Structure 1
């Protein structure tokens, strides 16, 4: 696969709720995860469950190689927890502080329109919520593009930085799932 094709394949246009806060590099050094947003305990719980899900998937594959019955039981328990989490998420995951907008997203960063310019190389704390899947992430980023547009907005690109591997895996899975949903819609 050519580099440009690979880059496009792992990028999606997605509707998300996006909140941004300019921060200092020292804030990033002081906190491994963003703390700049007020989030509900359920948002935090859902984020932790998503991270655990990423960590447990490898273990589940290993268990299934040795005992398929135990693996099936664990999969059913996982699905039950996932449904409970989705029910909690659907009632708690609000996007009241930020409008839903279309962004261009990859594992490495996000491009979007914003009503203010950001300085290139400035640091940001990003709250990203996917309403369709009730997935929420808190990520650090650095501005790499802020281009004035004719309508007065700014085409802004940020690169995710110091993102934990578990968070990257969650984002990759969301991108993959979104692409699968888009392909299914196209086929229908």
Structure 2
């Protein structure tokens, strides 16, 4: 049974967003396995690796900053250039996705509408392209519920399975950045309305 604190935390780390999403059912060893999924698209895999390697090197950049500010400043400029290149790759990858759709995203899972039903307990490969950071993630998820909606679609809730620490941290960072952006926009709207 979850406590009120766990429920509050879950709500805090949950956002509604528009993202590019691709769903594939998993079966057999892929469904039960704990290994990181790989996509058939080399560009998407490259995009994922760019962000994971950037995340994994952040602690090194902090150490360099403590010792040599000039080198750290130069590395930050290089990192910015790599981010710009990853956005170019993301735009290419985005062309292969369907239109972005409304989802509810958290560190623990994702809820979305889909034209096909997937029974509770089944496993999916969920490919996410989160913009504007150009963050590409391919995650394994277990379907928690699937309910019919209007117009022949289904509301599907999932729980991510076997996330790496880097994947979890990247999701958390994206969610926190989106929440900060929403608060900033709301504050600007309130200030401009006065």
TM-score norm. by structure 1 comes to: 0.87
Matches of 1:63 and 1:97, distance apart in 2: 38
- How much does 1:13 deviate? 0.3
Seen in structure 2, the aligned counterparts of structure 1 residues 186 and 169 have a Cα distance that, compared at 3 Å, is: same
Matches of 1:26 and 1:42, distance apart in 2: 25
User: Number of matched residues?
Assistant: 185
Matches of 2:54 and 2:69, distance apart in 1: 19
Corresponding residue of 2:7: 4
- How much does 1:14 deviate? 0.7
Matches of 1:87 and 1:20, distance apart in 2: 23
Seen in structure 2, the aligned counterparts of structure 1 residues 145 and 94 have a Cα distance that, compared at 3 Å, is: same
Corresponding residue of 2:71: 70
More helix by share: 2
Corresponding residue of 2:154: 154
Q: List gaps (5 residues or longer) in structure 1.
A: none
- How much does 1:97 deviate? 4.1
> Bigger CA drift: 165-174 or 49-58?
165-174
Seen in structure 2, the aligned counterparts of structure 1 residues 114 and 87 have a Cα distance that, compared at 3 Å, is: closer
- How much does 1:187 deviate? 2.1
Cα contact 1:110–1:158 (8 A) shared by 2: yes
- How much does 1:117 deviate? 1.9
Cα contact 1:25–1:123 (8 A) shared by 2: no
Deviations 1:81-136 (A, max 9, x none): 2222223333x122444232100000110011222221111011111112433221
- How much does 1:5 deviate? 2.7
Seen in structure 2, the aligned counterparts of structure 1 residues 114 and 76 have a Cα distance that, compared at 3 Å, is: same
Cα contact 1:14–1:102 (8 A) shared by 2: yes
Matches of 1:82 and 1:106, distance apart in 2: 24
Deviations 1:23-43 (A, max 9, x none): 1141245672224x532x332
Seen in structure 2, the aligned counterparts of structure 1 residues 117 and 82 have a Cα distance that, compared at 3 Å, is: same
Corresponding residue of 1:186: 186
TM-score norm. by structure 2 comes to: 0.84
Structure 1 runs (4+) deviating above 6 angstroms are: none
Q: List gaps (5 residues or longer) in structure 2.
A: 189-194
